[in-house]
Amino acid sequence: MSADDQLSRATLPRLAPELRPAVDPAELRTRIVHFGLGAFHRAHQAVYTEHAAARSGEPWGITAVAPRSAGTVRALRSQDCLYSLTERRPDGHRTRVVGSVVGALAMGPDAGAVDALLADPEVTVVTLTVTEKGYHRSPATGGLDTTAGPVAADLAAAPDGPLTTVVGRLATGLAARMRAGAPPVDVVSCDNMADNGAALARVVHDFVRASAWPDRAEILDRMAGAVTFPAAVVDRIVPATGEADRAAAVAALGVQDALAVTGEPYRQWVLEDSFAAPRPPWELDGALFVPDVAPYQLTKLRLLNGSHSALAHLGEVAGLTTIAGTMAADWGERLVRALCAEVSPTLPADGPDPVAYADDLVVRFRNPAMHHLLRQIGSDASLKITERWLPALRELRARGASTPVLELALAAWAHGTRRAAAPPSDPAAEALAACWRSADRPVETVRALLRVLGAGDLADDDALTTAVADRFPALDAGRVDI
């Protein structure tokens, strides 16, 4: 492949005008640093930022940092950080190039450049999509798990040694910013966790507190006044890009695009209105700024992500592979509606209407143009279901409400933990598989699995563990009985 066949600033003029970015990337500067260079960021925050820059004329550009994948960084740089986004609608699709990413760095090899940007007064916003496991939270305390291998290694190595955790790199960079007396900065978690702003603030502060830096108390003091962590709810279904998606992008663009992404038409971003430093006017592209994101966050986590995980684990039991395929099973839509109805009494009354929300979910999940693999949603389940199912389960059981749908979902998840896949699709895969040593005593197995999740209270709920274990025989036979 020659450079002539590849998407880049040089080949951009060859594209039809409707395929070109909404902004001229040459006019943007790095004012946002983003950690996590995955498809979700490219199809969500990068799009809002591009439109905000285009509509305001302000030069908001993003330098995206890949925590691990140096390959993605190389590929992105070779395309001058341009890539295409294809919106997949039930009745067709629409492709265009996104122009808001202006730099790409690999967190390890480019650590100096990452730190320099974090201390740069021009950079006033940092965003993150590093998935739940990127936060290294202790299930027991919610704080930083300083005993986790990578965290302990980073604490010993910071500030000058090689760091592998985003929390370590971010804390180190922010500390350097505080030492340099640079202006305030907003740090926005865009991961699917309740109270994600506070969760991120906690692990970053914990890292500084546990460091050996002689000035750590002053750093924490300065951070209290100069670094805010607004909470945010992000929403767009973005399946991992497959070969067919890349081929479709080439067909639409007429040039190669190794970083093509696809997404559903729907997108939403709700942010806590507590920014201390300049930020892009994302509201120009429909983002909502609200005093408290909790009603949106809990509704999204428990209804959308909760049903996604339930569809993923039950669909796998039934031998299915995609969300749209699972929605076509005779129980798919029923599962989504039943889960939403079961969980909705736990949602704040001032949030979105749960019945209308469930109606929308059914339409979004059924979108036949989306090839969203159950395997992708089922990965890292020990961290996901802890956010999506367990808090609602606890609340409902404390009120004496019955929880048949969550029990069924939990049984399907438990069923899938029996054998750790290779490569493992969950950081706790081995510990979970080990719980099946007492497979002849299924209730014991369920208890042990819940303990691995840090849910000792639920493990001690005999009615729950028995109800979950009672579901195993039907699931063994590949049957989903709702």
Count of positions (residues) in the chain:
482
Sequence-distant (6+) residues with CB within 8 A of 173 are: 114, 115, 117, 118, 119
Sequence-distant (6+) residues with CB within 8 A of 272 are: 197, 230, 231, 232, 289, 290, 291, 292, 293
Q: Least distance in Å: CB of 194 to ligand CS2?
A: 13
Q: Least distance in Å: CB of 148 to ligand CS2?
A: 22
Distance CA(374)–CA(345), nearest Å, equals 27
Q: Are the C-beta atoms of residues 376 and 421 closer than 8 Å to each other?
A: no
Nearer to ligand CS2, 410 or 459 (CB): 410
Q: Does 205 bind ligand CS2 (CB under 6 A)?
A: no
Nearer to ligand CS2, 28 or 39 (CB): 39
Binding mask 341-380 for ligand CS2 (x = CB under 6 A): -----------------------------------xx---
Considering only residues 216 to 235 of the shown chain, the ones binding ligand CS2 according to CB under 6 A are 235
Nearer to ligand CS2, 115 or 380 (CB): 380
Distance CA(239)–CA(221), nearest Å, equals 41
Q: Does 412 bind ligand CS2 (CB under 6 A)?
A: no
| Continuous H helices in 318-419 | 323-327, 332-343, 354-366, 374-378, 381-388, 390-398, 404-416
Q: Least distance in Å: CB of 312 to ligand CS2?
A: 8
Binding mask 81-100 for ligand CS2 (x = CB under 6 A): --------------------
Q: Least distance in Å: CB of 305 to ligand CS2?
A: 5
Sequence-distant (6+) residues with CB within 8 A of 40 are: 129, 234, 236, 238
Q: Does 384 bind ligand CS2 (CB under 6 A)?
A: yes
Q: Does 305 bind ligand CS2 (CB under 6 A)?
A: yes
Phi, psi of 58 (to 5 degrees): -85, 145
Binding mask 148-187 for ligand CS2 (x = CB under 6 A): ----------------------------------------
Nearer to ligand CS2, 119 or 301 (CB): 301
Q: Residue 371 has which token pair?
A: 């090839």
CA angle 146, 198, 180 (to 5 degrees): 75
Distance CA(404)–CA(480), nearest Å, equals 13
Q: Least distance in Å: CB of 45 to ligand CS2?
A: 12
Considering only residues 233 to 252 of the shown chain, the ones binding ligand CS2 according to CB under 6 A are 235-237
Q: Residue 375 has which token pair?
A: 């395997």
Nearer to ligand CS2, 263 or 454 (CB): 263
Residue nearest to ligand CS2 (CB): 308
Distance CA(302)–CA(369), nearest Å, equals 25
Q: Does 297 bind ligand CS2 (CB under 6 A)?
A: no
Nearer to ligand CS2, 42 or 308 (CB): 308
Q: Does 308 bind ligand CS2 (CB under 6 A)?
A: yes
Q: Residue 123 has which token pair?
A: 């950079």
Nearer to ligand CS2, 50 or 132 (CB): 132
Distance CA(118)–CA(121), nearest Å, equals 8
Q: Does 444 bind ligand CS2 (CB under 6 A)?
A: no
* Binding interface with ligand CS2 (CB under 6 A): 192, 235-237, 305, 308, 376-377, 384
